[in-house]
Amino acid sequence: MDITRRTLAAAAAAAAVAGLPARAAAPDFKQGFRKTPLIIGHRGASGERPESTLAAFRLAIAEGADFIEPDLVVTKDGHLVVRHENEISQTTDVALRPEFENRLTTRQIQGQGVSGWFTEDFTLEELKTLRCRERLPKLRPESARFNGQEAIPTYQEVIDLAKAESARLKRVIGTYPEMKHASYFAGIGLPMEGRLADILKANGLDGANAPVFIQCFDVLPLKTIMTLCQAPRIQLVSPEGGPTDVTLRYKDMVSASGMKAIATYANGVGPDWSMVIPTVDGGIGAATSLVADAHAAGLAVHPWTVRAENFFLPPKQRIGTDPAAHGDVDAVYRALYAAGVDGLFSDFPGLAVKARG
C-alpha cells in the first residue's frame, strides 16, 4: 500500500471510531471528511474557564465537544504537561512564587527572545504546586473568576478524563494534542515525539483507528511520529511564515500541489480559519479553494480558532464597541460549515455545537 492509500485508510479508520462515515476510495473523500463536522474544544472551553485546565476540558465535554485539545510541552524530568507555551508566566502564578524567583530567564524560542519561566526548568512535582489563571483577563473576566483553582494537568490526566467521560456519556471523546515547539524541545535534549508515542501506546491510542489527532506547525516531528505510531496527524498552517524546521512557506504548503505533499505524512490540515473564509470589505468573504484542494488530496480540514468576542471577529460581525462582548460569531460558524470543513476549533464549543445544529 502506498503512502497516499495508507493515509486515506488511517483517516477512514479514525473516522469510524469517532462516529464518522468511512470512505472506501479517494473519490468519496472529495465529498468531505464527514457530513457533521467535529467540534474541537480549543484548550477546552477556554473562553469560559482558564485554558488548558481540567475544568476547561470538562466544560468543553459537557457542552458537546467531540475532541478536546491540549497543547503539550515538556518538563525538566521529561513529562508531557498541558500549557499553551513552555513560558508559563501568562497562564500560572509562577511570577508570584518567591521560591521560583531565581528561575526567571530569557530563551530563544523559534528565533525570538522570550523572557519568563519555562517548563523545561521545572520538575513535574514543582509545576504541580503552581495554580493556573486566565490568560486574557480583560477580555474574559468571568473566566478569571476561576483563577487559582486548578493545577497544570499532564497529558495522561487529559486522556484519563476523556476516557472516563466517554464511558459516562456513552459517546467517543477524543484528544487532539499539539506538539508545541517540538523542534525547540528536540534541540535542548527533550524530544517529545517518542514521549507522546509511548503515552499513546500505553493507553491503546496509537492505532489508525484511535480517537486522536496529533498536530504540529513543524513538519519533521509529524514525519518522525509517523514512524512511531499510527495515530492520525494534522499539519498546522498559518497565513504567514512557515515551519521552523524546513524551508517552506505555509501559503505554498496549502496550494493544490502542496496539499499532495502534506498527504504523504499527514491525514489533514489545520489552517487559521481566515484561510478558509477570508475577511473581505470588513465582513465574511467567499470561501477560498483550500477545502476543495485539501479534499482532492485526501486531507481533512480542521480550521482554528473561532472565538466569540468582538476583538477576534471581522468588523461587520461585531456587535457594539466592547471588545469583550460577543459578536455575531454564528455567522463565522455557518460560513465555515458551508465551506465544507470537517471540523473546527472553538474557544466556545457550546456555541459551535449549537450553530452546527
Q: Which residues are catalytic?
A: 42, 84
User: Which residue, chain included where needed, has cell 493545577?
Assistant: 151
Using CB atoms within 10 A of its CB, is residue 129 exposed (0-12), middle (13-18) or buried (19+)?
middle
Residues 6+ apart with CB under 8 A from 242: 248, 249, 250, 253
The interaxial angle of helices 155-169 and 54-62, nearest 10 deg, is: 20
Do 245 and 222 touch, CB atoms closer than 8 A?
no
Q: What percent of the chain is helix, strand and coil (3-state, nearest 5)?
A: 35, 15, 45
259 CA to centre of own chain: 19
3-state secondary structure of 222: helix
User: Which residue, chain included where needed, has cell 513560558?
Assistant: 87
Do 77 and 190 touch, CB atoms closer than 8 A?
no
Do 287 and 335 touch, CB atoms closer than 8 A?
yes
Report which secondary-structure segment, H or E, holds 280: strand 279-280
Q: Quote the cell numbers at residue 148.
A: 487559582
SS (H, E, C) 137-169: CCCCHHHHCCCCCCCCCEHHHHHHHHHHHHHHH
Q: Quote the cell numbers at residue 43.
A: 484548550
How crowded is residue 281: how many other Cβ atoms within 10 Å of its Cβ? Answer: 9
Alpha-carbon distance of 54 to 322, in angstroms, equals: 29
